[in-house]
Structure 1
Amino acid sequence: MLGKANLIDAIAGTNRGLLANAAQKQAILAAIANLEDFNPTPRPLEATHLLNGDWRLIYTSSKALLNLDRIPFAKLGQIYQCIRVNTSSVYNIAEIYGLPYLEGLVSVAAKFEPVSEKRVQVKFQRSILGLKRLIAYSSPATFIQEIESGKKFTAFDTVINSDKQQGWLDITYIDEDLRIGRGNEGSVFVLSKT
């Protein structure tokens, strides 16, 4: 699909948005809007076979995520959003690298509830911030299995008051390997299935 190729081309070289200048951001938003007009899945929340799985972030305008790259002596690695439809769970995982042996991760676990054909209400439940070595982190899938089994980690592992920490996300485009979302803070997210 030409629109999809245009979006991928516009994103190339922006390091998930970290390096995007104003002109690139405008081109990316235009490519996103164009692709959203041709969403092959008009009711994305009913397409659970597409939604479920592990997604890697390839572009965002979210300042909260992009600011993770400003941690002293650290750089932002891969960012994943892993969706488990059967438990209405979503796991956001940001890998951090920098000084040897101090590679870390920032993760938030949440529950989601569909409120329309394309919008989910998200209630954050747990935050985990720690060193990969102490957590024994190897991959998003393994990490999520450990979270779901109730494991407590050697990390800053805290419960989040979901009454105060919640938001929504519209899924505006989804196919077999690409998903676009728009969040309640005006941010856009483009993810590819891993």
Structure 2
Amino acid sequence: MLGKTALLEMLAGKNRGLLASELDKQAILAAIAQLEDRNPTPRPTAAADLLAGDWRLLYTTSQELLGIDRVPLAQLGQIYQCIRVQEAQIFNIAEVKGPPLLDGLVSVQATFTPVSERRVNVRFERFIVGLQRLINYQSPAEFINQIQAGKRFAAIDFLIDPKKEQRGWLEITYLDEDMRIGRGNEGNVFVLTKV
């Protein structure tokens, strides 16, 4: 049985999955499945104290996220998922490194509703893409504070039309004090560590 430490060692140097070979991916998914079988928090949607906070992505199979790295002259930086349980909000933030003064940011704000002990439905509400310096981006927490205060940014910043049904779900399959594993409605796996 592989444990959490073994999984973290497997993820080291894989750049969130960008540098993982097919063999690496198979071994990582097997290690994830073993951890999920021993989830120490059987009702993660009820564990607000563990769930809340800022999480940094360690690994994903999401080609949509990893595809940001394929944009010309851009390199994928850190990716965060920040959960504000009291407000039932999720903020996905991807930092993008570019040429000097052109570092970017891609962010999606969503609300979530628990629908079972492990699953939340997610409704995407706001999309922000822009240059970090024009947004005055310093950190995920400070950026989220500005969003929650109602700030509009000098960026592509728009509300997502609720009629367009931009929805999904996330199942939390493993949760402890500093690691979270989830599986999304498109079949992707996400491994995150608390910041």
In structure 2, the residue matched to 1:183 is 184
The answer to whether the 8 A contact 1:124-1:161 is kept is no
Secondary structure at 1:54's aligned position in 2? strand
Q: Percent identity?
A: 63
For these two proteins, the number of residue pairs brought into alignment is 194
Runs of 4+ in 1 over 6 A off after TM superposition: none
Deviation at 1:162, TM superposition (A): 3.6
In structure 2, the residue matched to 1:96 is 96
Mean Cα displacement is larger for which, 33-42 or 155-164?
155-164
Deviation at 1:2, TM superposition (A): 5.4
Distance 1:52 1:89 in 2: 10
Distance 2:4 2:162 in 1: 35
In structure 2, the residue matched to 1:30 is 30
In structure 1, the residue matched to 2:67 is 67
Distance 2:35 2:172 in 1: 12
Distance 2:126 2:112 in 1: 13
The letter of the residue matching 2:89 is S
Which runs of 5 or more residues in structure 2 are unaligned?
none
String of CA shifts for 1:23-45, please: whole Å, max 9, x gaps: 00000000000000100000001
Distance 1:2 1:124 in 2: 35
The answer to whether the 8 A contact 1:170-1:181 is kept is yes
The answer to whether the 8 A contact 1:55-1:192 is kept is yes
Distance 1:32 1:13 in 2: 17
Secondary structure at 2:190's aligned position in 1? strand
Distance 1:46 1:108 in 2: 24
How do 1:109-188 residues align onto structure 2 when only pairs under 5 Å count?
109-163=109-163, 164-188=165-189
Secondary structure at 1:113's aligned position in 2? strand
The answer to whether the 8 A contact 2:130-2:156 is kept is yes
RMSD: 1.0
String of CA shifts for 1:8-28, please: whole Å, max 9, x gaps: 111111100001110000000
The answer to whether the 8 A contact 2:2-2:31 is kept is no
Distance 1:10 1:59 in 2: 10
The letter of the residue matching 1:107 is S
Q: Is 1:192 the counterpart of 2:183 in the alignment?
A: no
